[in-house]
Amino acid sequence: MAGTVYDALVGILDETFQVEPEMIRADATLADMDLDSLAAAELAAIVQDRFGVKVTGQEVGKGSTLRDVAAVIDGRIDGRTDAHEASAAAACQ
């Protein structure tokens, strides 16, 4: 799990959703942090704005752990980077 994505999510949960710091753990679900489905949808929108990647409601649903959400975002960022690098390399040939 990339620290930067995880750390950014911790900051979002603390600052935007006022989740108590002791409740924010990698293995805690969004439900464990008292976030409902509306908050999960808002988190998905924030993720898209902050990281430039889309996540589904299921991926950031109440049953998703913070670790799960960070891994999904990392995967999307890595995929986007790989696709961008492949496109740039093809353009140079």
Question: What is the per-residue pLDDT across 16-40, written as a single tens digit (0 to 9) for each?
Answer: 999 999 999 999 999 999 999 899 9
| Calpha distance 42→23 (Å, rounded) | 19
Q: How much is the pTM?
A: 0.80
| Calpha distance 5→68 (Å, rounded) | 11
Residue 50 corresponds to which amino acid? Answer: R
Give pLDDT, residue 90: 39
Whose tokens are 């409601």? That residue is 57
| Calpha distance 77→60 (Å, rounded) | 16
Which residues does 28 contact at the CB level (< 8 Å), separation at least 6? Answer: 65, 66
Would you place residue 41 in the very low, low, confident or very high pLDDT band (cuts 50, 70, 90)?
A: very high
Element of type H or E holding 74: helix 66-92
> To the nearest whole percent, how much of the chain has pLDDT over 70?
83
